[in-house]
Amino acid sequence: MSETDRYLSVLVHLRVLDEWLQATDVNEVAVNAPGVVQLWRGGVWEAVEAPAVSFDYLQTLGSFLANISRKPFDEAHPVLSAHLPGGERVEMTMPPTAARGMIYLNLRKHTSQPFALAQFSEQGYFTQTRHVFAPALGEEERMRLGSVLEPVQRERWALACAGDWPAFLAHAVRGRENILVSGATGSGKTSFIRALIELIPNWERILTVEDTPEMPLHNHPNSQALFYRRESQGGERMVGASAKEVLQAVMRKTPHRVMLAELRGDETFYYVQNVLNSGHPGGITTVHANSPREAFLRVALLIKASDEGRSLSLEDILRLLHMLVHVVVQIVFDPAAGRHVPAVYYDPMHAMASLR
pLDDT values of the chain reduced to their tens digit, one per residue, 356 residues: 566 666 677 777 788 888 898 888 888 999 999 999 999 887 788 999 999 999 999 999 998 888 888 888 999 989 988 887 777 889 999 999 999 999 999 998 876 667 889 999 999 999 999 999 988 788 888 889 989 999 999 999 999 999 999 999 999 999 999 999 999 988 889 889 999 999 999 999 999 999 888 888 889 999 999 998 876 555 455 667 889 999 999 999 999 999 999 999 989 999 999 999 988 899 999 999 999 999 999 999 999 999 999 999 999 999 999 999 999 999 998 877 788 999 999 999 999 888 76
Angle between helices 292-304 and 314-324 (to 10 degrees): 120
Residue 11 confidence (pLDDT): 73
Q: Alpha helix (H) ranges present in 70-150?
A: 117-122, 139-146
CA dist., res. 105 & res. 91, Å (int) = 6
CA dist., res. 315 & res. 310, Å (int) = 12
How many C-beta atoms surround the C-beta of residue 335 within 10 A? Answer: 9
CA dist., res. 321 & res. 315, Å (int) = 10
Domains of the chain: 3-108 (3.30.450.90), 117-354 (3.40.50.300)
The answer for residues whose C-beta is within 8 angstroms of residue 285's C-beta and 6 or more apart is: 179, 180, 181, 193, 259, 260, 261, 262, 263, 271
Is pTM beyond 0.85? Reply is: no
The answer for residues whose C-beta is within 8 angstroms of residue 297's C-beta and 6 or more apart is: 289, 318
Local structure of 104: helix, strand or coil: strand
Residue 93 confidence (pLDDT): 94
CA pseudo-torsion sign 305, 308, 310, 313: negative
The answer for residues whose C-beta is within 8 angstroms of residue 11's C-beta and 6 or more apart is: 85
CA dist., res. 140 & res. 137, Å (int) = 8
